[in-house]
Every structure is written in C-alpha cells, then in structure tokens.
Amino acid sequence: MMDFFVFFRSTKLLFTLTLVLSVLGPATEVVQAGAGRTGAQILNLGGGTRAASLGDAFSAINGDVTAPLWNPSGLNGISKLQTTLSYKDYSQLFGDASEGLYYAFFAGATHLDGLGTVAGTLQVQGQGKIAVTTNSPEVIREEDLGTNWVLTASYADKLTKNLAAGISGKVIRQRLAQYGGRAYAVDFGIQYDIRELFVPVRFGVALQNWGTRIKFKDENQSDPLPRALRIGTLVTLLDVKHHYVSLVTDLTAAIDKIQEDDEEGVKVYLENNPDMTRDQLMADRGVGLHAFRWKHLQKSIGLEYTLGKILYLRAGYKKDPGMPTFPEFTDYLTYGFGARVYFGQLDFAQVPGGGPNNKRLNVFALRLIFD
C-alpha cells in the first residue's frame, strides 16, 4: 500500500506540467463563440446559488462542492464530505409557456486522505414541449423536446504548498425531440495562492469543455461544445475571528472555434458592406485573438461576507456579451445569502432572468457539509 502512495505522489510533478501546458497552450489560438454557434448549452448554465449570487465569479474559490462547474481545482480545500441539490424553475419567467423548462443539478465531493478530493456532478435540463401545427394555427399535438444531461467526474489535489490542480471528465447527452447526440469533454484547472502580499490573493485559471462535437446524425449535423477560458482572482479583504470578507473577480472568454468557418457568409457580408474590412468583421464577431477583446469577455465580480459558519451574505455583478442588453445597471446585479445550522445549509440567490418581462429569477439550493 505504501508503494502505491509513493508512486501516486511521484507523479505530481508530471501531472502539474501536463496540466499547465494543457491550460495555457491552447489559449494562444482560441476564439470567441458567438450566439447559436455551439451546442450543449446546458454547459453554460453554471450551477450553485453561491456562484449565482456572486455574479458567477467562481474560478478562484476553493473548498466548494460546486467547484467542478467552474474550475475543478477548486475542490481542493474540501476536508470531508459535501453534497448539494439545486433546482431552477423557469416558469417564473415565462408562465404556462415554460411548462417543463427547468435546470437542476446534484453534486457530491469527498476528500480522500493522501489521495486528494473526488467529486461527481449530474446536471439535468428539461426543455419543455413545443406545439406541432401544419399550415393553420390548429395544434395537432405537443411534442416533448426531451431532457439534456451532463455527468461529470472530477479530481483535485494540492501539488505544492501554493498550487492546486484539478481535472474533470464529462459525458454530455443532448436531445432535440426524436434526435439525440452525445459528446465527451474534459476540463482542466489550477489555482495558485500568494500569501506574502499585504492581503492574501488566489489566482484561478480553467479551460472548460475541451472535447468532441455533439453529433446528431453525422459531421454535417453536429455542433462544437461551448469551450470557455476562465481567469479569476480571490482577494481576502478581512479575516479576523469569526468575520471573513472576500472579493472575487472573473473574466471569461468563449473559445469554441479557431477560425471563421462560414467563409461564404463572410464573402457575401463584405460584398454588401464594402466599407468594412475582413479584419474589422472578425474583430466584431470576436474571432481569433479578438475573442479576448474587452467587449467580448464576460465580466463578473462578487463580494462575500461570512459570519463564522452560520451566515453568508453575497452580492455580485455580471455583464455577459451573449445576453440581451438590460436598460438599468441594477439589472446586472446579483445577490443572495446562505444560512447554516449544524451540517445543513440553505442558500438563496436572485439573479437577472430575462424573459419577455425582464423578470428576476429566484434560485434555491440545499447543501450538506460534514466538516
């Protein structure tokens, strides 16, 4: 048994180098994913009321069972067992028209002494029903659009005193009425702590959804996965006795394509818009390195106050270029709280939901923490 532990620990350096190259290497040749250019949108739904209330700024947070949805290395810091169950009902936004539209996920993680932390996550998305008609408004039948799901297995460990790394493997199943497609993907992530500064800082980097395309019939009827590169920070502003305050930030780039694949469409567009150059069009669409322009990045910031292990107050701001432009600054704000009693914790978040009336969405989660 001791030989196994020695072998496992001896592979950490190799694992570190492989992970860093995997995360940073592709970043020099990735691009922005535009609306409607990727499949498996369930991978963009995130998860966890804590993350939601912090504006989805989560890639530098650790010790949380929902970390695999943002950065698998964030599993580091879990001491024993954590589980959570969250459910989001979209009928709050669309009423009866959204019957059967929901998003739910379950996650569980535990620490294994001497080995690291392992976790499993199941995401489920109900797509509701659609009315089938012919040439008249008369509804012939209602067709169920099916249920999408993602099953993820994750692992994380501390490689050095300040460096943690993690990896996730995913199986993605997408349905569209009678058609279905499956894909496989991996996530890589690292977190690095700097404690020597005036205030402790943690950096997080994660590359998500690097994998196969979602195929419904063949290559001509397939979609790429919504790959994303997340870069975040966590700054500890206060840590005295039972009071803890942290500031978290994230910048996220969608990176599904390496180059523009609709060359015929580009040619037609440029012919109809002679004042625009190809480079200007690629910059506008966020293709190539243009994906990392400020206007194409999702920007998130959050603030969390913790009173012991009893009360958690959270607020955040999220600006996503892929979402509709809201009229007011307050429409981008997120907030929520958590309340813990013994090993049970109830989390709540209210976030921009959109919909025809620009309503906000209430999200709840139940968490069990055995530490």
Q: Which domains does the chain have, with CATH numbers?
A: 2-370 (2.40.160.40)
* Per-residue model confidence as pLDDT tens for the chain (371 residues): 444 443 344 344 344 434 433 433 333 333 333 444 677 888 988 888 999 999 999 999 999 999 999 999 999 999 989 999 998 887 767 666 667 788 999 999 999 998 999 999 999 998 877 766 666 666 666 677 788 999 999 999 999 999 999 999 999 998 876 777 899 999 999 999 998 888 999 999 999 999 998 877 665 667 888 889 999 999 999 999 999 999 999 999 988 766 777 788 888 888 888 888 888 888 887 787 888 888 889 999 999 999 998 999 999 999 988 776 666 778 889 999 999 999 999 999 998 876 666 778 888 999 999 87
| pLDDT value at residue 37 | 65
Three-state secondary structure readout of the chain? CHHHHHHHHHCHHHHHHHHHHHHHCHHHHCCCCCCCCCCCHHHHCCCCHHHHHCCCCCCCCCCCCCHHHCCHHHHCCCCCEEEEEEEEECHHHHHHHHCCEEEEEEEEEEEECCCEEEEEEEEEEEECEEEEECCCCCEEEEEECCEEEEEEEEEEEECCCCEEEEEEEEEEEEEECCEEEEEEEEEEEEEEEECCCCCCEEEEEEEEEEECCEECCCHHHEECCCCEEEEEEEEEEEEECCEEEEEEEEEEEECCCCCCCCHHHHHHHHHHCCCCCHHHHHHHHCCHHHHHCHHHCEEEEEEEEEECCCEEEEEEEEECCCCCCCCCHHHHEEEEEEEEECCEEEEEEEEEEECCCCEEEEEEEEEEEEC
Round to the nearest angstrom and report the end-to-end CA distance of the chain.
27
| pLDDT value at residue 218 | 60
